[in-house]
A and B are shown apart, each in its own frame.
Chain A
Amino acid sequence: MLPLTELPTGRRARLSLLAGERSFRRRLMELGLLPGTELCLVRRADLGGVLEVEVRRSRVTLRAAEAGALMVSPV
């Protein structure tokens, strides 16, 4: 298990733990990012400090600083 921020680009993983504030967790889950869901880290913008994740065929962008609250297990 590792934080999403440490997942190599292009790797698929399963979301195992979702922490953070309630509204943050709720919004991610509503977008389909539930514990147990498979995701893929598509791209990270080091300059912009954000990363892009593919989940249930849609793309979601998170701040790296906030994505530390997501723990994933590579599959």
Chain B
Amino acid sequence: MSADPTTKLVALAGNPNTGKTTLFNQLTGSRAKVGNYPGVTVERREAALVLEPHGIVTLVDVPGTYSLCARAREEQVAIRAVAGWKPDPAPDCVVVVVDATQLSRNLYLTVQLIELDVPVVVALNMVDMLAETGERIEIAALERGLGVPVVGISALRGEGLAELRAAIARVLADPASARPGFRWRVPEGPLERDIAAVADAIPEEWTRPAQDGPPSERRRTALGLWALLSIDEHDELEDVPAALRARTLERLRGAQTSGRNLEEEVIGGRYAWIEALVARARVPATSSAASRTDRIDHVLLHPVAGFALFLLAMVFVFQSLFAGADPAVSWIESAQAWLQDQTRALLPAGLLSDLLADGVIGGVGSVIVFLPQILLLFFFIGLMEDSGYMARVAYLMDRLMSMIGLHGRAFVPMLSGFACAVPAILAVRTMERQRDRLLTMMVVPLMTCSARLPVYGLLIAALAPIDGASWWQQGGLMVAMYLFSTLIALVAAAVLGRTVLRGPKVPLILEMPPYRMPHWKSLLRSLLERARVFLSEAGTKILVCSLLMWALLYFPRPAPTQEFPDAGAPAAEQIANSYGGRLGRAIEPAIEPLGFDWRTGIGLIGAFAAREVFVSTMGVVYGIEGEADETSEPLRDRLRSERRADGTRLFTPLSCLSLMVFFAIACQCMSTLAVVRRESNSWRWPAFLFGYTLALAWLCSFAVYQGGKLLGFA
């Protein structure tokens, strides 16, 4: 969606794992605009490319795909982007990145693009890798066969990029030179008649290669083929006109009754043509390469060693997220505290100073504090994707994960959820299907994240003072909470995957790309992009929520009294009278059966800003001097000694356990909800997540507390 309609648009397409993103980053120096493709949460990156004599041209990254055929919305993104179906803009040229080491499979997509009658330039990537085996590709022969310009490049080393730019510029100036039309000949007979019949029902607006240009008969034929291969009784495609669907289904039935295999006719026809071309253009290898990938996989996919190494790698990733981000996090926190102190010192005490220090600086801090973990996790994910290891993760984990209805790739986000749900939810993007992504997002927040630890720490300590006799009980309780949360997450995945997020079981067909060196500059650029997108999209929502939370517990300000002329009532009284405090009282009847009173209610409301805030909120509620943390003895003592009106202890072991269960399940974390909103592109899913975890948490806490009481526990 270029701002200026006269700006030329170049689309960058290709199979997955062909170095497409690296090429995108190499070609465009300026930073990319990152958004979503219309209607789906598939990332759309575009950036400016300076291309003389055309000036600035927009380059848009099309998601990696093996084919333009589609069966669901997510897969439809590629055809929409290259064919320019509204609201996608029509590209003036498609650059297709072709992996020279896997020529025939990559040419399959190329042939489809050429059929569409869009100007095509082939960027033959990784030509340098061929040299290892003495294999060669005759570029001129490939060019003659395909009828479009072919440029040999190495995206990783930045070679051939000037030639590629020149070729794109030539094609933009003379589009007809790269629109040779159909490459393989559709055999005369029934297939030809099927295509003609379906093509007849293709909407006129789909057949214009250029915006407002004349319709193209070739494109009509190509889309007829696309419809024949994509549409069927089970597809989940969007925007397919009813007439086209009806016509296609009619021809499919006809083909079936006469015992023909349409897919084999079309796909086989294309591959036969491709193999003939490859035979002419490729000079075969002189030495057989006992490939490096095979040797690596021999170890990494070994049933025992491979699995152990995978677990080891995951422990390392988790440890880095859990502990490795700590120095950066404490640096951010001390910078925040310093800024808050400076603000208070500079401004007179009052609303403005409180708003700036606690509301704004505190709010910004609560956003930035996620960055270290996000950057670390995406560094590891980028490394795994770019090196080719990510495909192996699915290979190793598929059986385990699919038992609970999850995608093999859901393992990394689930594990990251033990550190923090925010980066973990951002990481679900590595899965293709919307249903897999949603299911993972709905269960990741159940994992015991690090923000729950201070809460558990306080409550476990409140159960009994730490002494030699019970330290192992306390440790055991912590471990039990981890096991409990994992179990709940697995059960939730199994249940949601069979009910709310029921979807057809999709066969696993996965390419195992060769291992390759990541392009570090490109990886770094993606990291910065990720940080920018998080700050500008989820970050702003988190900031707004933080400000609201602050205001909720800050207002209304009590009138100055004789006793406290400056600050009004002491903090404990103030927070109890705040809107949040009133809300805490209002929900007391709802949480009473769980063993909580209104003060815990205020803590729960405060914890919505971030779970660990529960601890400091409780500190304020109970009038503990200074900022309380989970190791604060006065707060622990206070919780232990707090009594109800009838003189019984408020925080019994049973009510503490009930509260921990509540914290384990309820997704009372506005940051998590904000990123779910961003990644699901709707408010429905964060609302559902909040609702179902709240209901489940209430039920489980109720069962623990009331059940415990029935069994005679206090």
Q: A-side interface residues toward B, CB under 8 Å? A: 20-32, 34-35, 42-43, 45-50, 52, 56-63, 66
Contact of A26 among B104, B267, B307 (CB under 8 A): B267
Instruction: List the A side residues contacting B509 at CB < 8 Å.
Output: 24, 27-28, 31, 60-62
Q: How far is the CA of A62 from the CA of B513 in the complex (A)?
A: 14
Query: Which residues from 293 to 337 on chain B have a C-beta closer than 8 Å to any C-beta of chain A?
Result: 294, 297, 301, 303, 307
Query: Which residues from 263 to 307 on chain B have a C-beta closer than 8 Å to any C-beta of chain A?
Result: 263-264, 267-268, 271, 294, 297, 301, 303, 307
B396/A24 in contact, CB under 8 A: no
Q: Which of A35, A49, A59 has the most CB of B within 10 A?
A: A59
List, sorted by A's number, 6 A–B pairs whose CB atoms are closer than 8 Å.
Answer: A21-B507, A25-B263, A26-B263, A43-B297, A56-B104, A61-B512
Instruction: List the B side residues contacting A56 at CB < 8 Å.
Output: 102, 104-105
Q: How far is the CA of A1 from the CA of B103 in the complex (A)?
A: 29
Q: B-side interface residues toward A, CB under 8 Å? A: 66-67, 69, 71, 101-105, 108, 229, 232, 234, 263-264, 267-268, 271, 294, 297, 301, 303, 307, 391, 394-399, 507-513
Q: How far is the CA of A30 from the CA of B510 in the complex (A)?
A: 12
A60/B511 in contact, CB under 8 A: yes
B104/A52 in contact, CB under 8 A: no
B67/A30 in contact, CB under 8 A: yes
Q: Decide yes or no: A49 and B399 within 8 Å by CB, A60-B509, A60-B512, A66-B508 being known contacts.
A: yes
- In the complex formed, the residue of B with least CB distance to A27 is B509
A30/B399 in contact, CB under 8 A: no
- In the complex formed, the residue of B with least CB distance to A55 is B105
Q: How far is the CA of A34 from the CA of B268 in the complex (A)?
A: 7
A30/B396 in contact, CB under 8 A: no
Additional pairs, 10, CB under 8 Å, beyond known A32-B271, A49-B399, A56-B102 = A23-B71, A27-B67, A28-B509, A32-B105, A48-B397, A49-B398, A57-B104, A60-B511, A61-B391, A61-B512
Instruction: List the B side residues contacting A62 at CB < 8 Å.
Output: 507-510
Instruction: Determine how close the nearest CB of chain A comes to the CB of B325; give it in whole angstroms.
Output: 31
- In the complex formed, the residue of B with least CB distance to A34 is B268
B104/A50 in contact, CB under 8 A: no
B66/A29 in contact, CB under 8 A: no
Instruction: Determine how close the nearest CB of chain A comes to the CB of B233; give it in whole angstroms.
Output: 9
Instruction: List the B side residues contacting A28 at CB < 8 Å.
Output: 509
A61/B510 in contact, CB under 8 A: yes
- In the complex formed, the residue of A with least CB distance to B99 is A58
Instruction: List the B side residues contacting A61 at CB < 8 Å.
Output: 391, 394-395, 508-512
Contact of A66 among B101, B104, B268, B507 (CB under 8 A): B507
B102/A26 in contact, CB under 8 A: no
- In the complex formed, the residue of A with least CB distance to B303 is A47
B303/A45 in contact, CB under 8 A: yes
Instruction: List the B side residues contacting A49 at CB < 8 Å.
Output: 398-399
A35/B395 in contact, CB under 8 A: no
B511/A58 in contact, CB under 8 A: yes
A63/B508 in contact, CB under 8 A: yes
Q: How far is the CA of A29 from the CA of B267 in the complex (A)?
A: 7
Contact of B512 among A29, A34, A52 (CB under 8 A): A52
Q: How far is the CA of A50 from the CA of B301 in the complex (A)?
A: 11
B264/A29 in contact, CB under 8 A: yes
A31/B511 in contact, CB under 8 A: yes
Q: How far is the CA of A46 from the CA of B307 in the complex (A)?
A: 12
Instruction: List the B side residues contacting A20 at CB < 8 Å.
Output: 507
Q: How far is the CA of A29 from the CA of B268 in the complex (A)?
A: 8
Instruction: List the B side residues contacting A58 at CB < 8 Å.
Output: 102, 105, 511
Q: How far is the CA of A59 from the CA of B105 in the complex (A)?
A: 11
Q: How far is the CA of A3 from the CA of B394 in the complex (A)?
A: 23
Q: How far is the CA of A22 from the CA of B232 in the complex (A)?
A: 9
B511/A45 in contact, CB under 8 A: no
Q: How far is the CA of A12 from the CA of B60 in the complex (A)?
A: 41
Instruction: Determine how close the nearest CB of chain A comes to the CB of B162; give it in whole angstroms.
Output: 29
A32/B395 in contact, CB under 8 A: no
Q: Decide yes or no: A47 and B307 within 8 Å by CB, A29-B267, A58-B102, A62-B508 being known contacts.
A: yes
Instruction: Determine how close the nearest CB of chain A comes to the CB of B665; give it in whole angstroms.
Output: 31
Instruction: List the A side residues contacting B271 at CB < 8 Å.
Output: 32, 34
B69/A30 in contact, CB under 8 A: yes
- In the complex formed, the residue of A with least CB distance to B108 is A30
Instruction: List the A side residues contacting B105 at CB < 8 Å.
Output: 31-32, 56-58
Instruction: Determine how close the nearest CB of chain A comes to the CB of B368; give it in whole angstroms.
Output: 40
- In the complex formed, the residue of B with least CB distance to A56 is B104
Instruction: List the A side residues contacting B103 at CB < 8 Å.
Output: 57
Instruction: List the B side residues contacting A45 at CB < 8 Å.
Output: 301, 303, 395-396
- In the complex formed, the residue of B with least CB distance to A69 is B507
